[in-house]
C-alpha cells in the first residue's frame, strides 16, 4: 500500500478528512522552505504538496506566481526540489509528498529519469497541471513502474463524459479544482461543493481532495468533510510573504507564522 493510500485509509478510520498544505520549494530560500516542510507534519499536515517553481505557472494566481519567482531567484531546479524531498525523508518516512508543477521542466529533465529520481527521493504523487490525459502516456509507464501516483485534476466544468475518461486508471486521489480560474482568487461555497461532490463520487472510488480558494479554518473544515481532503496554498504563502524583508529574505517569524496558521487549520479540520 502506498503512503497516500495508507494515510487516507487511516483517516477514514478516524472519521475525518485530510489537511494538505502547500509550499513552494525554495521560497524564499532552500533552508527556510525545508525547515517549513519538516515542521508541517507536527503542525497537522496529513500530506504535503510541494510546488516546483516554474517561470510560467498558468494555473496559479499572483500569490503563487510571486512565490515561484522567489524560488527561482533562490536557485530552484527540479533536481534541487527532489533533493529537498530526500532531505525531508531523513526524518519523516510517513507523510505523503506530492509534487505539483508543469510539464516543461519534467520533459527537459527526462520523464523516465524524473520518475526514477522522484521515487528514489521519496515522492509519492505527481500533479502536472498542464498535462492533459491525452498526453499522460509521457509519464504513465514510468510512474507506475516506480510506484508514483499521477494525481488527476478535475474542475466544475468537466463534463460527465470527460470525467469518466480522465478518471479511468487514475490513482492516489482526485484533485477537485473547486473554482473556474486561477489559484487564490475566489472560493467555492458549501452549496457548490455539496452539489459537485456526488457527481465525482459516482465516477470514482478514489478520495477527493478539494483545492483552489480554501483560505480559512472554517473553509478547510467544510471542504475536508464534504470531500476527503482540503488543500490550502495561497493563504499560507500570503502569510509567509508578509514576514519577508523588503528584499524578500526570511526573518525570524517566517516559519513560525506559517506553522501557527497551519495549526489553526488543522484544529478546525479535526474539530
pLDDT digits (tens, 9 = 90+) for 183-206: 555 667 788 888 889 989 999 999
pLDDT score of 259: 98
Residue 179 has pLDDT above 90, yes or no: no
Q: Could you give the angle at which helices 160-167 and 190-203 cross, rounded to 10 degrees?
A: 60
Q: Could you give the angle at which helices 217-226 and 254-270 cross, rounded to 10 degrees?
A: 50
Using left for φ > 0, alpha for ψ between -120 and 50, and beta otherwise, residue 9 falls in alpha
Tell me which of 97-106, 169-178, 236-245 is least confident.
Answer: 169-178
Q: Contact, 148 vs 124, CB < 8 A?
A: yes
Quick one: cell of 265?
487549520
Which residues have C-beta within 8 Å of that of residue 74, sequence separation ≥ 6? 26, 27, 28, 29, 30
For the chain, give the mean pLDDT.
93
Q: Is 135 a catalytic residue?
A: no
Quick one: cell of 14?
478516524
Q: Which of 27, 29, 46, 60 is catalytic?
A: 60
Q: Is 112 a catalytic residue?
A: no
Question: How many domains does the structure of the chain reveal?
Answer: 1
pLDDT score of 185: 59
C-alpha Rg value of the chain to the nearest Å:
17
Which residues have C-beta within 8 Å of that of residue 174, sequence separation ≥ 6? 151, 152, 154, 167, 200, 204, 206, 207, 208, 209
DSSP annotation string for 121-133: HT--EEEETT--G
Q: Which of 27, 29, 46, 49 is catalytic?
A: 49
Q: Contact, 167 vs 154, CB < 8 A?
A: yes
Tell me which of 157-161, 186-190, 210-214, 260-264 is least confident.
Answer: 186-190
Residue 98 has pLDDT above 80, yes or no: yes
- Domain that residue 250 falls in: 3-270
Strand partners, 176: 154, 210
The pTM score is 0.94
Tell me the CATH number at 150: 3.20.20.70
How far is residue 226's CA from residue 250's CA, in Å, rounded to a whole number? Answer: 36
Residue 154, Cβ neighbours under 10 Å: how many? Answer: 21
Amino acid at each position: 500500500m502506498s503512503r497516500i493510500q495508507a494515510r487516507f485509509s487511516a483517516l477514514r478510520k478516524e472519521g475525518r478528512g485530510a489537511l494538505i498544505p502547500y509550499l513552494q520549494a525554495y521560497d524564499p530560500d532552500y533552508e527556510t522552505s525545508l525547515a517549513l516542510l519538516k515542521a508541517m507534519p507536527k503542525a497537522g499536515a496529513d500530506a504535503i504538496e510541494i510546488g516546483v517553481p516554474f517561470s510560467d505557472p498558468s494555473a496559479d494566481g499572483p500569490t503563487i506566481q510571486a512565490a515561484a519567482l522567489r524560488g527561482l531567484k533562490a536557485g530552484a531546479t527540479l533536481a534541487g526540489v527532489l533533493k529537498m524531498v530526500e532531505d525531508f525523508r531523513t526524518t519523516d518516512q510517513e507523510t505523503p509528498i506530492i509534487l505539483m508543477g508543469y510539464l516543461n521542466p519534467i520533459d527537459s529533465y527526462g520523464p523516465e529519469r524524473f520518475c526514477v529520481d522522484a521515487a528514489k527521493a521519496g515522492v509519492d504523487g505527481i500533479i502536472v497541471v498542464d498535462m492533459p490525459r491525452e498526453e499522460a502516456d509521457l509519464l504513465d509507464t514510468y510512474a507506475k513502474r516506480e510506484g508514483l501516483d499521477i494525481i488527476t485534476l478535475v474542475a466544475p466544468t468537466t463534463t460527465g463524459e470527460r470525467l469518466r475518461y480522465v478518471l479511468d486508471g487514475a490513482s492516489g486521489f482526485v484533485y477537485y479544482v473547486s473554482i473556474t480560474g486561477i489559484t487564490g482568487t475566489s472560493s467555492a461555497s458549501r452549496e457548490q461543493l455539496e452539489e459537485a461532490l456526488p457527481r465525482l463520487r459516482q465516477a470514482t472510488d478514489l478520495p477527493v481532495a478539494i483545492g483552489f480558494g480554501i483560505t480559512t479554518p472554517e473553509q478547510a473544515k467544510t471542504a475536508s468533510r464534504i470531500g476527503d481532503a482540503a488543500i490550502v496554498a495561497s493563504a499560507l504563502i500570503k502569510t509567509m510573504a508578509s514576514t519577508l524583508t523588503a528584499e524578500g529574505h526570511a526573518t525570524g517569524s517566517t516559519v513560525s507564522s506559517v506553522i501557527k496558521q497551519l495549526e489553526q487549520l488543522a484544529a478546525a479540520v479535526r474539530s
